Amino acid sequence: MTTTRVSTRALLTRRRLAVPLVLALGLAACGGDDDADEPAAADEPAGDAADEPAGEPADMGDTAECAADEVDGDLALYNWSEYMDPDLISAFEEQYGVTVTEDFYDSNEAMQPIIAAGGSGYDVIVPSDYMVSILIEGGDIMPLNKDAIPNYSNLLPEFESGLPYDPDGAYVAPYQWGSTGLGVNLGALGDDFPRSWGLIFDPDIRAEYGLDGKVSLLNDPRETMGAALKYLGYSLNTTDEAELQEAQDLLRDTVGALAAFDSDSYDENIGNETTLVGHGYSGNFFAQFIDSDNPDNWDYFMPEEGGTQWVDNMAVVADAPHPCTAHAFINFILDGDNGAALSNWNYYASPNEASQPMIDEAVKPFLDKATAGVDPEKIEFIRDTGDFEINFSDAFTAARG
């Protein structure tokens, strides 16, 4: 039986403080064909931090001496809430004769100190792109034993290697990817409205569509300050104080029009029409929309000014009690059928090339929307801005008042 010790309704809340990312991975969107499954190229980083490489420890450390399909005990999984198909967990337990215990976190920053402290008892974690670099630098995750993960070769080439936070694919296996943008109620807005951050930040647009008090932003300094920066035409990784001040002023002027800063229920609030426009993560919106009585009444898009794209990854904790079971689990998820089942369940795009033919036709159109129609040069991965990072948090706090 799968055991759940901690269950939160976090809905994949992502607090994305970053490390340097310059991910140039081709075309955006996932689903319809191989070309459509490649993430969009990120903007070149701005500021002094752009030249800093992703952190690596002086010593890669020891990897686990495991054979493919070898297990050495039960599995303790630490993951985002509502991100893993329970049927896949049950299938893994049955196939390998082990028990999986799942705990959940609602942000990378909630997970990282628990892992960094050591002795967490967890075997597998699912950190986001920027957090991988932090964990590598801290020696908190072990190098993967690729001999124990033969399904690693199922990944799309752009995910198998070349990722800036783990260039050789030495430490992590990509799990899912998606974007941050806007979910909207088409029944209220119609079809002819600007696909722009102006739906939230422009008072004239809000007035035209009756959106005051009906829009929400994530309760997240980097994502929300980043949205304001993109609307203004700046990089969401800016280290220019004047640009950040302009974004702070814009957000301050918008606060009175918001229903909430919401990183928990933004998708549900769109679905029940508490809000008409919500800032959030692609898969959460897709799951909400496809399960509704009228999926055509809703839409998700990345605004034309651009936004955030991200990759989540599977990693083995450096002091994992059961590292061989951890490798077997990663290999299990990277099976083509299992990777497709995962995307069919959580509506996030798969980095698994072998999975693409098995992704449901009803799901593919939603996955295609992750970054569709946006100039790849306007799509960015949040990265670490070094000492400037505190400025984003301070600006967010000041703008909220």
Residue 259 CA, chain-centre distance (Å), reads 24
Structure tokens at 117: 């402290």
Strand segments, DSSP code E, in 255-353 are 258-261, 277-281, 298-301, 307-316
Residue 389 lies in a domain: yes
Coil, strand, or helix at residue 154?
helix
Q: Indicate if the pLDDT at residue 24 is higher than 50.
A: no
Helix residue spans in 64-165 (DSSP H): 86-96, 108-116, 129-137, 157-160
Task: State the pLDDT at residue 119.
Answer: 97
Residue 259 lies in a domain: yes
Residue 367 lies in a domain: no
Q: Indicate if the pLDDT at residue 157 is higher than 60.
A: yes
Residues above pLDDT 90, as percent of the chain: 67
Per-position DSSP letters for 182-207, written without gaps between them: EEEEHHHH-S-S--STHHHH-HHHHH
**35 and 91 housed in the same domain:** yes
CA angle 209, 210, 216 (to 5 degrees): 100
**25 and 121 housed in the same domain:** yes
**51 and 200 housed in the same domain:** no
Q: List, in order, residues 6 or more apart from 7 with CB less than 8 Å away.
A: 81, 104
**134 and 26 housed in the same domain:** yes
Q: In which band, very low, low, confident or very high, does the pLDDT at 16 lie, cut at 50, 70 and 90?
A: very low
Strand segments, DSSP code E, in 135-228 are 172-185, 215-217
**73 and 210 housed in the same domain:** no
**102 and 189 housed in the same domain:** no
Alpha-carbon torsion 108, 109, 110, 116, what sign?
positive
Q: Amino acid letter at 139?
A: G
**52 and 97 housed in the same domain:** yes
In angstroms, the CA 128 to CA 141 distance is 13
Backbone torsions φ then ψ of 77, nearest 5 degrees: -105, 130
**243 and 386 housed in the same domain:** yes
Q: In which band, very low, low, confident or very high, does the pLDDT at 3 lie, cut at 50, 70 and 90?
A: very low
Backbone torsions φ then ψ of 269, nearest 5 degrees: -70, -30
Lowest mean pLDDT among 1-5, 143-147, 200-204, 284-288: 1-5
Terminal CA-CA length for the chain: 47
Burial of 381 (0-12, 13-18, 19+ CB in 10 A): buried
According to DSSP, the β-strands at 172-185 and 298-301 are antiparallel
Q: In which band, very low, low, confident or very high, does the pLDDT at 124 lie, cut at 50, 70 and 90?
A: very high
Residue 369 lies in a domain: no
Q: How many CB atoms lie within 10 A of CB 87?
A: 12
Q: In which band, very low, low, confident or very high, does the pLDDT at 305 lie, cut at 50, 70 and 90?
A: very high
Q: In which band, very low, low, confident or very high, does the pLDDT at 363 lie, cut at 50, 70 and 90?
A: confident
Residue 198 lies in a domain: yes
**171 and 186 housed in the same domain:** no
Q: Indicate if the pLDDT at residue 172 is higher than 90.
A: yes
Cβ(171)–Cβ(132) under 8 Å? yes
Pick from 279, 309, 263, 222: nearest CA to 11: 263
Strand segments, DSSP code E, in 162-257 are 172-185, 215-217
Where in the sequence is the domain holding 258, given as residue range(s)?
Answer: 180-308+375-400
Residue 359 lies in a domain: no
**41 and 158 housed in the same domain:** yes
Q: Structurally, how many domains does the chain consist of?
A: 2
**82 and 125 housed in the same domain:** yes
**265 and 291 housed in the same domain:** yes
Cβ(219)–Cβ(263) under 8 Å? yes
CATH number of the domain to which 105 belongs = 3.40.190.10
